[in-house]
Amino acid sequence: MLESITENLTNAIGNITRGKLSEGNIREGMGEVRKALLEADVNYDVAKAFCDRVTEQAVGDKVLKSLKPGEQIVGIVYNELVNLMGPVDHSIAIRRGETSIIMMCGLQGAGKTTTCGKLAKMLMAEGAKPMLVAADLQRPAAIEQLKVIGEQVGVPVYWEEASSSTPVKVCQNAKKAAKQQDCNVIILDTAGRLHIDDSLMKELIQIDNKLMPNQVLLVCDAMTGQDAVNSAKAFNDALELDGVILTKLDGDTRGGAALSVKAVTGVPIKFAGMGEKLDLLEPFHPDRMAQRILGQGDIATLLETAQRHMDADELEAQQKKMLEGKFDLNDFMKAMGQIQKMGSMKSIMKLIPGMGQLSQAMDAMEGMDPDKDIKRVKAMISSMTEDERRNPEKIDRSRRNRIATGSGADPAEINDLLKQFKDMSGMMQQMAGMGMGDRMKAMRE
Ligand code: GDP
């Protein structure tokens, strides 16, 4: 995600800061910044106001006469990006002793039902006992979908026959059922439509008035750009939203919705959907997003992901080998398995500062099917002698042909593997340089 905005924005800022810094040059260069934002589908007024604010600060004497004006300008852009998307309060107020109510709204297809499940899972991990409520009586399939998701997450789902109930009744009865089943939070999966219409809004306002939810959250699809922002505005006018959950940020989004929602509606993005799986909901951090947009990686998320999926002791052992120059193909095989658990290679590399721009290494990872690849890699490495595994540089043409025959691979694949090993070693070295193991340990303690 966000590749083109990162590239266009960093180029535009680079052009400003590389040249001679003067008020005229900055004003001219900011035109490029604005273009980069508009190409990313940022709302026009938001892009304009953003550039005006940056320009106003950048052309002042304080910056121009400072020691490193270029760095200062990047700092101003970063701060303004953070301000554009924040501040965010991620808390979901769960009230002790009573049933908390979270009302989820959104257009059809935005990812509402999936996100209800993700949110339930997240709340469970925090010690809450959620119940999902099928308040969408328009589409029988929606009730079935919620039941399936409830089962996957392991939470009860309250539902009633659509023909003999109303959305408000379902929600009210769900509140009673939650008490009986000892659940302390109910998540209302309300109806969606392809477009906003009056009857949908009326139905939602009725639920809002009768149930008085603690939080009203809107689920928006990041891929729909300004349409998502416009729908957020309409929902907020009707319901006073507490937050937005932006889904499909893992997809090929240009970034416009993420950058515009808060500025247009005043409602912050609280969480982001990062994939279809039910554990892929993350708190939305404006500072991390700004770092990613500026191509500076996102160490905090990398550490958190690593901590969730990797064994810190194992990582430390590998790092040690790395630093001692002893990281070999045996370790490579292990590391591949560990990194595979964290997600796609490409998505991880983007989190590493400076790696996002290393397009060659990125391309090498493109199109990897981790499960299949790991099996093949294992077969190839198993056909090597212990000496070759420890010293891959010894693998010459004839050894390569022998390994290829032994593992049923093509000699070119052996070359690819050795290249991947080199790339991975570089990546591990970066991680080691950042003290990944130490930081992960610190987080654990
Ligand atoms: P609803 O109509 O708003 O309830 O939407 P659904 O929950 O049925 O989701 C619509 C589609 O979007 C489904 O295929 C989901 O798997 C998918 N989806 C939901 N959230 C995400 C996300 O964060 N990332 C990706 N890639 N897909 C998502």
In the predicted model, is pLDDT for residue 276 greater than 70?
A: yes
Give residue 359's pLDDT: 47
How far apart, in whole angstroms, are the C-alpha atoms of residue 121 and residue 117? 6
In the predicted model, is pLDDT for residue 47 greater than 90?
A: yes
Among 12-26, 111-125, 344-358, the least confident range? 344-358
Whether domain 100-287 has CATH 1.10.3720.10? no
Binding-site residue numbers for GTP are 106-113, 189-193, 247-250
For the full predicted model, state whether its pTM sits above 0.80.
Answer: no
Structure tokens at 226: 């300004």
Q: Ligand 1 pocket check: which of 195, 276, 277 to mutate, most ligand atoms within 8 Å of Cβ?
A: 276
Side chain identity at residue 65, one-letter code: K
In the predicted model, is pLDDT for residue 367 greater than 60?
A: no
CATH H superfamily, domain 299-444: Signal recognition particle, SRP54 subunit, M-domain (1.10.260.30)
Average pLDDT of the chain is: 85
Give residue 420's pLDDT: 76
- In angstroms, how far is the first alpha carbon of the chain from the final one? 33
Shortest-distance Cα residue to atom 26 of ligand 1: 275
Enter the ipTM: 0.99
E strand or H helix at 187:
strand 185-190
Q: What is the pLDDT of residues 336-345, one digit of tens each?
A: 666 666 666 6
**What angle separates helix 69-85 from helix 256-265, to the nearest 10 degrees?**
70
How far apart, in whole angstroms, are the C-alpha atoms of residue 399 and residue 405? 10
On whether the CB atoms of residues 333 and 388 are closer than 8 A, the answer is no
For residue 87, with 0-12 CB atoms within 10 Å meaning exposed, 13-18 middle and 19 or more buried, which class applies? exposed
Alpha-carbon distance values, 127 to 118, 150, 184, 438, 439 (Å): 14, 17, 10, 28, 26
Range(s) of the chain covered by CATH 1.20.120.140: 3-85
- Higher-confidence residue of 325 and 42: namely 42
On whether the CB atoms of residues 374 and 341 are closer than 8 A, the answer is no
In the predicted model, is pLDDT for residue 334 greater than 90?
A: no
Backbone angles phi, psi at 271, to 5 degrees: -135, 160
Determine the distance separating the centroid of ligand 1 and the alpha carbon of 258, expressed in angstroms.
17
Q: How far is CA 13 from the centre of its chain?
A: 24
Give residue 1's pLDDT: 61
Range(s) of the chain covered by CATH 1.10.260.30: 299-444
Could you say which architecture CATH assigns to the domain 3-85? Up-down Bundle (1.20)
3-state secondary structure at position 130: strand
How far apart, in whole angstroms, are the C-alpha atoms of residue 259 and residue 34? 13
3-state secondary structure at position 358: coil
Q: What is the pLDDT of residues 288-302, one digit of tens each?
A: 999 888 887 666 676
Most confident option among 54-68, 102-116, 182-196, 404-418: 102-116
Give residue 2's pLDDT: 76
Tokens 């056909």 locate to 383
Range(s) of the chain covered by CATH 3.40.50.300: 100-287
Adjacent-strand bridge partners of 269: 244
How far apart, in whole angstroms, are the C-alpha atoms of residue 428 and residue 430? 5
Q: Ligand 1 pocket check: which of 188, 223, 227, 247 to mutate, most ligand atoms within 8 Å of Cβ?
A: 247
On whether the CB atoms of residues 147 and 120 are closer than 8 A, the answer is no
Residues 50-63, mean pLDDT to the nearest whole number: 89
Binding-site residue numbers are 106-113, 189-193, 247-250
Using a 6 Å CB cutoff, which residues line ligand 1?
A: 106, 108-114, 192, 247-248, 250-251, 273-276
| Closest listed residue to residue 213, CA positions, set 238, 239, 192 | 239
How far apart, in whole angstroms, are the C-alpha atoms of residue 390 and residue 392? 6
3-state secondary structure at position 410: coil
On whether the CB atoms of residues 189 and 146 are closer than 8 A, the answer is yes
Q: How far is CA 378 from the centre of its chain?
A: 30
Q: Ligand 1 pocket check: which of 1, 105, 114 to mutate, most ligand atoms within 8 Å of Cβ?
A: 114
Give residue 254's pLDDT: 86
H helix runs in 266-328, sequence order: 286-293, 299-309, 312-323
With a pLDDT cut of 70, the percent of the chain lying above it is 81
**How crowded is residue 421: how many other Cβ atoms within 10 Å of its Cβ?**
21
**DSSP symbols for 229-266:** HHHHHHHHHHH--SEEEEE-TTSS--SHHHHHHHHHHS
Give residue 289's pLDDT: 92
Ramachandran region of residue 157, left (φ > 0), alpha (ψ -120 to 50) or beta? beta
Determine the distance separating the centroid of ligand 1 and the alpha carbon of 342, expressed in angstroms.
21
Give residue 7's pLDDT: 87
How far apart, in whole angstroms, are the C-alpha atoms of residue 245 and residue 231? 13
Give residue 323's pLDDT: 65
**How crowded is residue 324: how many other Cβ atoms within 10 Å of its Cβ?**
8
